[in-house]
Every structure is written in C-alpha cells, then in structure tokens.
C-alpha cells in the first residue's frame, strides 16, 4: 500500500509488532535487524505519535549508522542480561530458599513501656 509522502505509517504497517508498548531499552535490541526503510517508517510513526525523545534519538542514531555503512545484524526479543518479561513466578525453589526465621524481638520484656510525656519513674 502506497501512502502519501507526508503521512506517517499506521500501527499495522510497523515492522515491529507491539511497538507502542516497548521501552527504549527493548527497542535498542530489536531495531538492530531493521533496514533503512523500516527505521525511517518507525521514526516517522514515533514522531507523529508518542514522540519520545529517547526513542527518536535511538532510531536516528541507528539510521545514521546504517547510512554510514553499518549492516543490519540479528536482533532479538530482549536485552541480554535483563529479566525476561514473559517469565512469571519466582526463580527461588525450596532447595535454594533460606531457612525460615523468627523476627527479632523488640525491646526488653522486663522493661515496661510508659506513655509519652509520663515523667514518672517506674
């Protein structure tokens, strides 16, 4: 589908599904596999909609890199070394969890408390 030159692409035409919900950190990894045309499409969409400065800067820098001779590389779903957003539950298992313990006692059981402002000696 051909679109007029000044009209940004629609959400369905974007090369990354769920683009609107992605953070700049998630986009940084996913845009590595895109070509110039796809980045230009994302940049036009971003400027017309959310216009997030960090995302515009990220897309612009990657586009400039490609125009300077960089080549697309395999992208991925997330950033290396970061938690997987699709995982649920705790990674702790009964064998790796610490032993249960009681909370520390507060105060001395032989020392009775007194209300604030009470200057009497017990």
Opening angle at CA 27, ends 38 and 92, nearest 5: 145
Q: What is the pTM of this model?
A: 0.57
Are 33 and 73 in contact by the 8 Å Cβ rule? The answer is yes
Are 23 and 30 in contact by the 8 Å Cβ rule? The answer is no
Here the tokens at position 17 are 């599904």
pLDDT in tens, 14-66: 899 889 889 998 898 899 999 999 999 999 999 999 899 999 999 999 999 99
If you average pLDDT over every residue of the chain, what do you get?
77
pLDDT in tens, 69-85: 988 887 655 544 444 44
pLDDT in tens, 26-39: 898 899 999 999 99
Give the per-residue pLDDT at 1: 46
């Amino acid at each position: 589908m051909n679109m007029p030159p000044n009209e940004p692409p629609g959400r369905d035409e974007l090369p990354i599904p769920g683009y609107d919900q992605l953070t700049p950190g998630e986009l940084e990894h996913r845009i590595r596999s895109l070509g110039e045309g796809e980045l230009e499409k994302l940049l036009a969409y971003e400027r017309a909609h959310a216009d997030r400065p960090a995302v515009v800067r990220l897309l612009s820098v990657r586009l400039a890199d490609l125009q300077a001779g960089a080549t697309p590389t395999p992208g991925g779903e997330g950033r290396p070394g970061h938690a997987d957003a699709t995982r649920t539950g705790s990674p702790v298992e009964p064998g790796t969890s610490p032993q249960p313990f009681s909370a520390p006692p507060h105060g001395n059981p032989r020392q009775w408390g007194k209300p604030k402002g009470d200057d009497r000696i017990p």
